[in-house]
Amino acid sequence: MVTPSHATRSTSAHTPSIRSLAVFCGSRVGNNPAYTEAGRALGAGLAVAGIRLVYGGGRIGIMGVIADAVLQAGGTVLGVIPDFLKQWEVEHQGVQKMIVTDSMHERKTRLYEESDAFLTMPGGLGTFDETFEIITWRQLRLHDKPILLCNVEGWADPLIAMLENAIGDGFAAASARALVEVLDDVPAVMERLASLPRVQNGSAARL
């Protein structure tokens, strides 16, 4: 786990910046209104920054909150939803583009291919799965796209503790801390997105 100050990479005026961000987050809104507020702030921030939202395509939960906020602020949204989840997660009808996949695995591949970086916002089991998967893909050097985690009011403390414990127990290298950047709130995420370089490694062939 690294803080932004440790993780800052040198960028030049010619380095392309993040254009598309995949967001992993809950299909429920959770019990703390701060999660919804953070989702709204993120959506508005992405629209203003001209960064396309790439997400799971649902209209419910924090997913729906973020997508609605991007659209309301005039931004662009790409949804990627498996056919079998269109009803369950209530497919968003207002996004500019929706990709319908045959499986969850194809959804994850498309989310990966369409994004320059990844951000985890508050969520549940599916969010944990997606977050750890993108971290482990980076650990395996299958990609080097930035991974951010927005720890809104400490919701991700147990997730971060699992990673720290894995290192402490000798199940992960100390360098695993650098695979994901933890940021405390949405303004910190937006600031970091503005300085992140875009990595040219979009191939999903080995995922």
Of residues 28 and 198, the one with the C-beta less far from ligand AMP: 28
**H/E stretch holding 171:** none
Of residues 4 and 124, the one with the C-beta less far from ligand AMP: 124
Whole-angstrom distance, CA of residue 14 vs CA of residue 36: 36
Q: Which residues pair with 172 in a beta bridge?
A: none
Selected binder of ligand AMP within 37, 106, 114, 129 (CB under 6 A): 129
Q: Give the residue at shortest CB distance from ligand AMP.
A: 126
Of residues 7 and 95, the one with the C-beta less far from ligand AMP: 95
Of residues 167 and 204, the one with the C-beta less far from ligand AMP: 204
Whole-angstrom distance, CA of residue 47 vs CA of residue 73: 6
Selected binder of ligand AMP within 10, 31, 93, 125 (CB under 6 A): 125
Q: Is 197 in the site for ligand AMP (CB under 6 A)?
A: no
**Residue 45 is encoded by which pair of tokens?**
């921030």
Q: Is 127 in the site for ligand AMP (CB under 6 A)?
A: yes
Extended beta strands in the chain, E state: 20-24, 52-55, 77-82, 97-101, 117-120, 147-150, 181-183
Q: Is 4 in the site for ligand AMP (CB under 6 A)?
A: no
Q: Which stretch binds ligand AMP (CB under 6 A): 69-77, 117-125, 145-153, 183-191?
A: 117-125
